[in-house]
A and B are shown apart, each in its own frame.
Chain A
Amino acid sequence: MHWRLTGDNIFKTLATVLAASAAFILLVTAITLLNGSLPVFQRFGFSFFTGTQWQGNVIGSEVFGVLPYLLGTLVTSAIALLIGVPISLGIAIFLVEMAPKTLKVPVSFLVELLAAVPSVIYGLWGLFVLRFWVLNYIEKPISASLGWIPIFSGTPFGLDILTAGIILAIMIIPTVSSVTREVIQAVPNSIREGAYSIGATKWEVIRHWVLSYGRSGIFGAVILGLGRAVGETMAVTMVIGNSIGPKAVPTSLFNAGQTMSSLIANGYLEASPASLELPAFIAVGFTLLLLGLLINVVAHVMVTRVLKIKGGAVE
């Protein structure tokens, strides 16, 4: 097993180093964030995760809590999944099971084009166009009739948790639908043929065999979409209304809110290096990294499972 200077070995070493660099970058990022946020965790401990206040102006009596933004991130992402996943499923099923060949290529191209639109464009469109659609056609009617329900309370302005969730839904559709399409395509044709042969309708085949067979893979796709929604910054910042402190706890869909990434984007530029505010923003970043890691680990596990299925193993 003597290592020799051959082209193969050089290539192997090079590839290993490059692969390791990804892990190294992640590790360095995590350590840097943890290190930068240490003063905050030392001062507030676990209450940083449960606190709702964001007061950084009086040095010595700062209070920082990430809870409203953690909830804001989770709620907007949940709305995005609620709206985006059914649409993505529909797109994927249509493309694999129903679309004629002449439609397949252009439609999947268009859907994937959605992923190529920079998020600031979605943000601008959200701010200038979508905001008013949501306000006039969704929020005002609901507010007038169902305003007594707590999650629809408050005066709607169109810049709130709901609009942010809808923008995110649009942004996760390309990710979720293209992965789902791959998953559905990976379902062996023998499954479909078997189902048809016992007299199942198209709907039954899709519902009971195809989706069921691919469900862990589809779940992986959803988690990937969630990962995108959780980290999205620019578009959310532009439409979420950016409230801060206890008011930012997402109690109503029609209230302005804030996510962790929008909080950082909004505040860190002017955070004084001499106060705890800068470490507090870094601590929010660390929290976001933890959440993102958690989501991606889950996604990885799910996607690995579906790859095994694709390889022939059965659940």
Chain B
Amino acid sequence: METKYKIIAIVLIAVIVGGVGYILLSPPSSVILSGSGATFPVPLIDAMATEYGTVKPDVLVGYEGIGSGGGISALQAKTVDFAGSDAPLSAAEREITPNTLHIPETIGAVTVAYNIPNVATGLHLTGQIIADIFQGKITNWNDAAIQDINPDITLPDHAIVVAHRSDGSGTTFIFTGYLSVVSDDWANTAGLGQGKSVEWPVGLGGNGNSGVAQLVQDTEYCIGYVELAYALENNMSVAAIQNPAGNYVSPSLETTTEAVAGKAQQGLPAGDASWSDVNVLNAPGEQAYPIVSFTYLLVYKELKVIPGMTEAKATALVQFLWWVVHDGQQLGPDLEYAPLPSNVVQIDEASIQSITFNGQQLPTT
């Protein structure tokens, strides 16, 4: 019996000592940074948050993909520290979230995926043709306009089935932005133009990238638009699209980054200016893919406006953002996100350095 009590006593002491030791030795109370918004960058931000945990173990970053609209609402209500959005803030949205900085965080590209039996690769398309297909003006695959630029392919005499997103999405915003740039008719028709959702004149709606991808893969003679990472991961047949230099360019991380670098050379606004007119569509560059866009982190320039913000938390946020646009970019390619070119990183640096708490600048490292 005595040995039994001894064992129990030893176990108890070990538990107490271990518990006290754990409490004494564990890291000081951590800082929690929360964000919400666009779903497109969720895998990247999640990976960044996890990786950042090894760089700064006392900072926890949480991001909820609730949609850009929800992210902007949360930013307006000041219930998050930062928001994510695939589209820049509109003039009206800037009014409800005054003094917000746009920090391009990564780059999205939209592919035009198709399912034509016996044509697995090599389809060429121009912006005008894509716009006409999605507007219902070109309805057959062997339309002269498509056949003429695809001399090596015999296109079938079959009606085109159009697939589009049914949910509001940044992917649609990018894609319809491109259609508006290349087709005046698309841009000026009521209900079309650029938007997270438009009044599609033709086609079937699928929910999410997966929904459109599934429609394209399961429906012969179907064409749809799918976000780059999704198309690459699923080995979908995607069209090479003519860029302003006249080349037919296939979507890839390289052609996406080249597009953004080319556009950034022509100048981008400062972080605190309006970005509503910024687009990186139809960028110059021999091998620049034409349907490309930034996705943004949105953050208040003066962090004191957020209730409960402290200088320590503001500093942690600034340092996290700085890390996102530098070291964090290396996580992109593995997840099929194109990294920011250096000239965009410079713009981000200036924006992040301009963030203040109570008027005080904050250290970025």
Contact = CB atoms under 8 A, between A and B. Distances in A.
Interface of A: 53-59, 63, 127, 155, 157, 159, 237-238, 241-247, 256, 258, 262, 265-275, 278
Contacts of A157: 161, 204, 219
B167 A273 contact: no
Contact of B205 (A55, A155, A266, A275): A266
A195 to B, nearest CB: 52
Given A247-B200, A269-B69, A271-B168, A57 B195 contact: yes
A57 B193 contact: yes
A273 B76 contact: yes
Given A55-B199, A244-B200, 16 more contacts: A55-B198, A59-B92, A157-B219, A243-B203, A243-B204, A244-B166, A244-B199, A258-B205, A267-B168, A270-B167, A270-B197, A272-B92, A273-B76, A274-B72, A274-B90, A274-B93
Nearest to A263: B166
B197 A244 contact: yes
Contacts of B197: 56, 244, 266-267, 270
Which of B73, B170, B197, B206 has the most C-beta atoms of chain A within 10 angstroms of its own C-beta? B197
6 contacts: A237-B166, A242-B205, A244-B166, A269-B168, A273-B69, A275-B92
B159 interface: yes
Contacts of A53: 191, 199
B207 interface: yes
Nearest to B222: A157
A272 B200 contact: no
Interface in B190-222: 190-191, 193-207, 211, 214-215, 219
Interface residues of B, number: 42
B90 A272 contact: yes
B92 A242 contact: no
Contacts of B159: 155
A59 B95 CA distance: 13
Which of B69, B92, B190 has the most C-beta atoms of chain A within 10 angstroms of its own C-beta? B69
A256 B207 CA distance: 13
B191 A273 contact: no
Given A53-B191, A53-B199, A55-B190, A273 B73 contact: yes
Nearest to B66: A269
A269 B166 CA distance: 12
Closest 3 CB pairs of A and B: A270-B168, A242-B205, A242-B166
B72 A245 contact: no
A261 B121 CA distance: 39
A247 B70 contact: no
B191 A245 contact: yes
A256 B205 contact: yes
Nearest to A61: B190
A245 B90 contact: no
Contacts of A63: 190-191
Contacts of B91: 59
B341 to A, nearest CB: 27
B68 interface: yes
Contacts of A237: 166, 207
B35 interface: no
B205 A244 contact: yes
Given A57-B195, A267-B197, A243 B205 contact: yes
Contacts of A243: 200, 203-205
B25 to A, nearest CB: 43
A132 to B, nearest CB: 8
Contacts of B167: 265-267, 269-270
B154 to A, nearest CB: 23
Contacts of A271: 69, 168
